[in-house]
Amino acid sequence: MNKVIAIANQKGGVGKTTTAINLAASLAATKRKTLLIDLDPQGNATTAAGIQPEKIKTLYAHYFEKAAVKECIQTSPDNYDVIPSGEDLIALEVAIRNDGNQGFLSSSLKPFEDFYDYTIIDTPPTLNQLTIEALFCASGTLIPLQCEYYSLEGITGLMKTIETLSSKNMTSNRVLGIVRTMVDMRNNLAKEVSDELEKHFPSLIFNTLIPRNVKLAEAPSHGISGIKYMPNSYGAKAYLALAGELIRRIEYV
Ligand SMILES: Nc1ncnc2c1ncn2[C@@H]1O[C@H](COP(=O)(O)OP(=O)(O)OP(=O)(O)O)[C@@H](O)[C@H]1O
Ligand SMILES: [Mg+2]
């Protein structure tokens, strides 16, 4: 059964794409059949996954030109599949909203229910219809968070939206956990915020801390994950550990 996980936080630059890419690569490294869906028109996950933006069909083609979802799927050098994104997803977002077609992504993924073990969805830094589509079809949401003063305020809206969707029985989505990203424990404020998070969300916080590590930032320019680029780096090891923790949370319950 395909476990669909949305990576979301409406705050920009918190490590959503880096988490999506490296989790997909880590899950693929454990021989779990994995699909990464880039739902951000910025297309960062697409290029970081090593997909050439010139050669792709996005979900725009599926929605407007009746292309099969299969025609959109590419394979990354890290051995996971990718449904890429591009700027045309901006028009897709408007169309889904105007057509009242909520749940479009969910129905598009139905044929793949038994094919993938995991589907990871990277979302844009806003709570727009594309993010809602991801939340709607995911069974769990993972929230990357930077340990900064305002970081908590940004996620309350997201958590409320997930609660509202679930309470109306529109989705079985729940917050799987909060991942602390770009952590530098030499920074006192980061340490304070990190401690606060552990106090407030003891069951939600992932134990694995993702350190600030330049190898994770360099890897996308090579079109590969940090796991493949520098397997022994702290960043790569942290994402492999995070994948292990995620698997334990999801599969061993
Ligand atoms: N652990 C890390 N160590 C060092 N650099 C990182 C780390 N995580 C992310 N970065 C860098 O920080 C920047 C923002 O990360 P990323 O693109 O993953 O965030 P995002 O939440 O997807 O951003 P957006 O909201 O724009 O989609 C990128 O340049 C990325 O390479
Ligand atoms: Mg991103």
CA of 213 to the centre of ligand 2 (A): 17
Q: What CA–CA distances, in Å, run from 166 to 140, 153, 160, 163, 174?
A: 11, 21, 10, 5, 8
Ligand nearest to the CA of 13: 1
The residue whose CA has the least distance to atom 31 of ligand 1 is 217
Whose structure tokens read 């889904």? 96
Is residue 180 in contact with ligand 1, taking CB distance under 6 Å?
Answer: no
Is residue 2 in contact with ligand 1, taking CB distance under 6 Å?
Answer: no
Identify the pLDDT of residue 252: 85
Identify the pLDDT of residue 55: 80
Q: Specify the ligand 1 atom closest to the Cα of 124.
A: 27
Ligand nearest to the CA of 144: 1
- Angle separating helix axes 234-251 and 16-29, nearest 10 degrees: 70
CA of 167 to the centre of ligand 2 (A): 28
> Which residues contact residue 103 at a Cβ distance below 8 angstroms, ignoring those fewer than 6 apart?
133, 136, 137
Q: Specify the ligand 1 atom closest to the Cα of 181.
A: 1
pTM (two decimals)? 0.97
Q: Side by side, which strands form the sheet with 34-38? A: 74-75, 81-83, 34-38, 118-122, 3-7, 140-146, 174-181
Q: Which domains does the chain have, with CATH numbers?
A: 3-251 (3.40.50.300)
The residue whose CA has the least distance to atom 23 of ligand 1 is 13
Is residue 14 in contact with ligand 1, taking CB distance under 6 Å?
Answer: yes
Q: Cα dihedral sign for 248, 249, 250, 253? A: positive
The residue whose CA has the least distance to atom 15 of ligand 1 is 15
The residue whose CA has the least distance to atom 29 of ligand 1 is 217
Identify the pLDDT of residue 150: 83
Is residue 18 in contact with ligand 1, taking CB distance under 6 Å?
Answer: yes
Identify the pLDDT of residue 92: 98
Is residue 217 in contact with ligand 1, taking CB distance under 6 Å?
Answer: yes
Identify the pLDDT of residue 4: 97
182: DSSP letter: S
Q: Specify the ligand 1 atom closest to the Cα of 213.
A: 3
Which residues of the chain fall below pLDDT 50? none
d(CA 113, CA 175): 21
Q: What is the phi/psi pair of residue 40, to 5°?
A: -100, 120
d(CA 105, CA 204): 26
d(CA 86, CA 46): 8
Q: Specify the ligand 1 atom closest to the Cα of 218.
A: 31
Is residue 13 in contact with ligand 1, taking CB distance under 6 Å?
Answer: yes
